[in-house]
Amino acid sequence: MPRFKVTLEYVGTRYRGWQIQKNARTVAGELHRAVKTVAGREPGELYGSGRTDAGVHALHQVAHLDLETRMPPAQLLWRINEELPADINVLTLEPAAHRFHARHAAVARSYLYQIARRRTALGKPFVWWVKDALDPAAMAAAARGFEGLHDFQSFTDQDPEDGSTKVKVESLQVREEGALILIRILGSHFLWKMVRRMVGVLAEVGRGALGEADVARLLRGPSDEVAPLTAPPSGLFLERVLYEGDPRPGPVRAVLSLPA
């Protein structure tokens, strides 16, 4: 069965995440439905590069799709987009080798988180408004403590028996843009809730409630302290999925500008 590499963007607000679930509306579920409608048959394997949580957005999610069809890729892409809701959009659809696997072939992933430093009406679905004053310089200094290979057991609800909780974080950048504080995390892979809990800890550093030493302490062993600090999904975007030969992401940029 022919395999396609599908790249798509979506606003995750209305969905219970990427993965198909019974009795829940999901991004993969909507894509599966659209493909079935267009092709007139059940698609084969539909597998994403990773499972974004409920409410999380994507600028560049990648999936592989197995489908018997005589339609050329350009027509297939256009017709699938015609069937999808407006908050999901297929960017590219191209033939792929059958050995290509959206998840296993990925070498790195980057996530972008947007913290708003002021109240916003238009940007509300895409930011976390933190009312307290934040110190971006302190956050950037503490962010360096996450870089490298660490055990992120304290930063996930994943059962350690389901797989290793060790993750290599290649880089963690914090920068200001207008009324936003942007946090980009680039790593090999990410655990359930890991990115949002890292952001929550960095926000506490920005408030002055935690310091650089606390990041090292929380990485040393299991802690219940991190869970209440989980940042909301609204500000989180799967920014890029990287495969062999892909360039690393360029400068950190906001998804939606927010003047100070």
Strand ranges (E), 54-165: 57-66, 88-96, 106-116, 128-129, 148-151
Active site residues: 53
Q: What residue type is assigned to position 63 of the chain?
A: A
d(CA 154, CA 151): 8
CA–CA separation, 185 and 48 (whole Å): 19
The structure tokens listed for 54 are: 């409920």
Nearest Cα to 236, choosing from 50, 76, 52, 48?
A: 52
Q: Is 124:187 a contact under the CB 8 Å cutoff? A: no
Helices 194-207 and 136-143 pack at an angle, to 10 degrees, of 130
- Residue 6: phi and psi, rounded to 5, are -115, 125
Give the span between the Cα atoms of 81 and 76, in whole angstroms: 9
